[in-house]
């Protein structure tokens, strides 16, 4: 289980349910309840003895971040995005980063942006360039910390594991 604090309420989440403290399945009225759902899957995979677990984890974390960026732009930026505009922005990850930086410049540190760029390039190498790129446990753990921090900063989620 993962513990999620939203305001003064604490919720417990497994892969598919959000549970209250008594174990009853509930869906709290929150906007961003799904942006964190890949994190328990990451935790599950990272503990397995799989040869390619870090590749899978890197892709999961990067996808989580991309989904979070889209949610942030649509729901928090104060800008009305048409479907066409969003599609055009999300065709190029550099455009996504530029767009998010316009509205979240105080929430994401320059150091985190460097990490985001680094891990995005690593993900691209894994998917598009080199089939044998190794991703270290340290890199994956560091990227997870960045993703969790950004989910907390962008959406006010208090994620504890």
Question: Which pair of tokens denotes residue 28?
Answer: 């709290």
* pLDDT value, residue 132: 66
Bridge-based pairing state of the strands 158-160 and 18-19: unpaired
CA-to-CA distance for 147 and 145, rounded, in angstroms? 6
Q: Which of these, 158, 153, 160, lies nearest to 69 by C-alpha position?
A: 153
Average pLDDT by stretches of 10, the chain with 161 residues: 50 44 45 68 82 89 93 92 95 95 93 95 82 82 94 82 51
* pLDDT value, residue 145: 94
Within a 10 A sphere around the Cβ of 84, how many other Cβ atoms? 8
**Local structure of residue 27 (DSSP, 8 states):** -
Q: Which of these, 120, 138, 148, 129, lies nearest to 59 by C-alpha position?
A: 120
Q: What is the pTM of this model?
A: 0.77
Return the half-sphere exposure (C-beta side, CA atoms, 13 A cut-off) of residue 90: 17
């Amino acid at each position: 289980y993962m513990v999620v604090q939203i305001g003064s309420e604490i919720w417990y989440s497994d892969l598919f349910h959000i549970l209250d403290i008594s174990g009853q399945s509930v869906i709290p009225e929150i906007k961003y309840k799904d942006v964190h759902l890949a994190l328990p899957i990451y935790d599950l995979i990272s503990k397995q003895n799989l040869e390619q677990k870090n590749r899978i984890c890197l892709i999961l974390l990067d996808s989580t971040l991309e989904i979070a960026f889209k949610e942030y732009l649509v729901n928090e930026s104060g800008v009305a995005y048409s479907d066409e505009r969003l599609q055009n922005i999300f065709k190029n990850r550099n455009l996504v980063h530029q767009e998010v930086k316009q509205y979240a410049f105080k929430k994401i540190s320059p150091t985190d942006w460097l990490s985001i760029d680094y891990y995005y390039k690593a993900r691209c190498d894994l998917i598009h360039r080199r089939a044998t790129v190794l991703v270290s446990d340290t890199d994956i753990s560091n990227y997870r910390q960045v993703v969790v921090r950004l989910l907390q900063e962008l959406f006010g989620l208090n994620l504890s594991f």
